[in-house]
Chain A
Amino acid sequence: SAVISQKPSRDICQRGTSLTIQCQVDSQVTMMFWYRQQPGQSLTLIATANQGSEATYESGFVIDKFPISRPNLTFSTLTVSNMSPEDSSIYLCSVEAGALTDTQYFGPGTRLTVL
């Protein structure tokens, strides 16, 4: 199993500012995933973060808007840059773990409100 913590748990930010979300895992994992969950919507994958290489972004998400760091095998950050009210969402960190890496674990999420 994997235990994931995220900081902050929630924040209220002003338009135009940036917020960095931290994700810590209690075990070493190859890939870490960042998701966005907007109200009433399904989870949407933002990017996959591999240690030692640049993150891979999904369609509709760009590095300038969502820069990601992955300095080691247990930690990652996601920055939401130049925020607008449309960025208000829950941001979730996730990893796959287990003998067959067939179980996906999620952090508690960061609830972001942009005014």
Chain B
Amino acid sequence: GDSVTQMEGPVTLSEEAFLTINCTYTATGYPSLFWYVQYPGEGLQLLLKATKADDKGSNKGFEATYRKETTSFHLEKGSVQVSDSAVYFCALYNFNKFYFGSGTKLNVKP
């Protein structure tokens, strides 16, 4: 069945460091791909999405490119801030169902 695998955390970075959080997926057909962010004590917020191969989703300095050849949707940011500390979830939508990764906690130190 369809599934999402993302790198385990926590990931700890210093402010202004480059961020990559890896996400790979298994799916038939042509899923849509998402990144959600969850700040402490809050619900998941949509960060960005891509609906077809080679699409790049971007928001708030974060980017992810839908790579069908490698079945990946890695999240990147060039310079993280302390305020980016949160849990990040990769997800896919396919044939009327949503699938979520287990989440990656990011800690950014000043």
User: Are A and B physically bound partners?
Assistant: no
Binding site for B on A (CB under 8 A): none
Binding site for A on B (CB under 8 A): none
